[in-house]
Amino acid sequence: MNFFERLANYFFGTSTAMEFAAGSKNLKDFRQEVELFVQDVNPSFPLESIPLIKKLVIAFPDLSQSVKRSLTLGNSGIEWKINSDENGKKTIQADIDAFFKKHRGITNHLLRQVITTGALSAEIVPSLNLDSVAEIRLIPVEKVIFKKEIDADNIVRFVPYEKGKFGYNRLNEEQYIYEAIEREEDSPYAIPPFLSAIRWINSQFKTQENIDKTLNKWGLLGFIIAKFKRPRLLPGTDAKTYENQQKEFLQGAKQSFEKNSQSGFLATYDDTTVDHHTLTDASKTGGFEAISRYIEEQISSGADTDLFILGRSYSVTEAYAKIAGKLFLLKLGNFAYPVIQLLIRAITFDQLLKGNRFQSIDASWKKSISLDPLADAQAKLTEEQVKNQEFQLILSMVKSGAISPNDGAKLLGRDKWSNPEKLETQSGSGFTFSETVEPGSKKNS
């Protein structure tokens, strides 16, 4: 039974075999076995599918391109926000820059793990002297299992264990993070994003094997069908001999056509009909192109990556491409969230170990590229115009006495109006009002 058959058996229960215990067990052994069974939490898919997906991402063009484009669009760069005094900001920012120089590519490594497996699985490892973070260790998702444990408050928790050489070792949850992007409600295991595409990738492999066989046989010519008139039955020839003569004639003709087709020239008699079928002619090759596109569409759906992102320009209209592109960026935002949270946690832990003083450290992704710059620019302009109109409306209400200056300031998101006495002398534009910030208060209007 190959892997795909075992995968189908796992999901659809096609097996009819049942295994029974070989011998009797005492009550103690039986109780321990039941307790271990209850503690174990099994995923709804075989964990061995994750290493397969990792290999397919490297070897299979569509999945490889999906991951590469996800990395390109998903990692837009990180902007750090440090809440500390000026000297503290400079020191911490220098430490952050040094950290990423020491651990080059760590952001891409974490993001790729999430995109490929659907989970972030990493451990923050401090140095031996406990004076900094030594590394962020990625733990293969397929090597992590969960067991149910009841804590002091009688709450059932899923506790992570890592598979080692001599069994499973419990992971320190103060340092280890397992963040699933998508999972079932009663299971902690992340569902691999490309899991539903495996079945169709197998179909595409089979299709490609057939293409390779045809190309090896006929190259780019396609294939040729030659029709001959049946050889004349000579007097005194029995049926068996006549049948053998026909087979020998066809075999000889086939070899002759194969040899001559390599030079691109064929010579026949006028009683021979030759039909040439190209590989891309759907009317003569049983709908090869339609089948290939159908498989591509299923792989695209399983990988949750639209065909236009994979370079298939025939797949969508321009309007749909804009919508699908934005949905793709939103999906990448979900994938990138646990990555940046882990990096914030690692940098914060690193600074605490180094003894640097700060109030908080936060980070966010820089603005990604726009899939429709013109539409985004128009939307931004419209937003600014709406804000200006809102400001002018509130300003006119304050000037007319309909509301007090401080009420107008609150409508604008400020604490109070800074200089109400200037309202009668300023122009109607409303952009020349002075602003001051009082110690301990918000920005004023």
Lowest-confidence segment of 16-20, 21-25, 182-186, 365-369 by average pLDDT = 16-20
- pLDDT tens readout for residues 119-151: 999 999 999 999 999 999 999 999 999 998 887
Least confident of 29-38, 174-183, 270-279: 29-38
Task: Please state, for a pLDDT cut of 70, what percent of the chain lies above it.
Answer: 73
pLDDT-derived band of residue 290, with 50, 70 and 90 as boundaries? Answer: confident
Task: Please report which confidence band the pLDDT of residue 159 belongs to, taking 50, 70 and 90 as the band edges.
Answer: very high
Interval 194-225: pLDDT, tens = 888 887 777 777 666 666 665 555 544 556 67
pLDDT digits (tens, 9 = 90+) for 377-395: 888 889 889 989 988 898 8
Percent of the chain's residues with pLDDT above 90:
27
Split at pLDDT 50, 70, 90, the class of 19 is: very low
Of the ranges 8-22, 241-255, 323-337, which one carries the lowest mean pLDDT score?
8-22
C-alpha–C-alpha distance, residues 200 and 300, integer Å? 10
* Residue 103 or 203, more confident: 103
The reported pLDDT for the residue numbered 117 is 93
In this prediction, residue 126 carries a pLDDT of: 94
pLDDT digits (tens, 9 = 90+) for 223-279: 667 777 777 777 878 888 888 888 888 888 777 777 766 655 666 666 666 666 665
For residue 424, the model assigns a pLDDT of: 57
pLDDT at 283: 56
pLDDT in tens, 396-408: 888 888 888 888 8
Q: Tell me the domain boundaries of the chain.
A: 3-16+27-192, 223-277, 375-424
Is the pLDDT confidence value at 433 over 50?
no
Q: What is the structure's pLDDT at 280?
A: 55
pLDDT of residue 31: 52
State the average pLDDT for the chain. Answer: 78
Give the whole-angstrom CA distance, residue 163 versus residue 169.
6
pLDDT value at position 32? 56
Mean pLDDT confidence for 319-326: 77
Tokens found for residue 69: 């484009």
Taking only Cα atoms into account, the Rg of the chain, rounded to an integer number of angstroms, comes to 34
Q: Which pLDDT band, with edges at 50, 70 and 90, does 426 fall under?
A: very low
Highest mean pLDDT among 104-113, 163-172, 295-304: 104-113
Indicate the range of 175-179, 235-239, 286-290 predicted with least confidence. Answer: 286-290
pTM above 0.85, yes or no: no
The residue ranking higher by pLDDT, 368 or 212, is: 368
Kindly tell me if the per-residue pLDDT of 439 is higher than 50.
no
Full 3-state SS string of the chain: CCHHHHHHHHHHCCCCCCCCCCCCCCHHHHHHHHHHHHHEECCCCCCCHHHHHHHHHHHCHHHHHHHHHHHHHHCCCEEEEEECCHHHHHHHHHHHHHHHHHCCCHHHHHHHHHHHHCEEEEEEEECCCCCCEEEEEECCHHHEEEEEEECCCCCEEEEEEEEECCEEEECCCCCEEEEECCECCCCCCECCCCHHHHHHHHHHHHHHHHHHHHHHHHHHHCEEEEECCCCCCCCCCCHHHHHHHHHHHHHHHHHHHHHHHCCCCCCCCCCCEEEEECCCCCCCCCCHHHHHHHHHHHHHHHHCCCCCCCCCCCCCCHHHHHHHHHHHHHHHHHHHHHHHHHHHHHHHHHHHHHCCCCCEEEEEECCCCCCCHHHHHHHHHHHHHHHHHHHHHHHHHHHHCCCCHHHHHHHCCCCCCCCHHHHHCCCCCCCCCCCCCCCCCCCCC
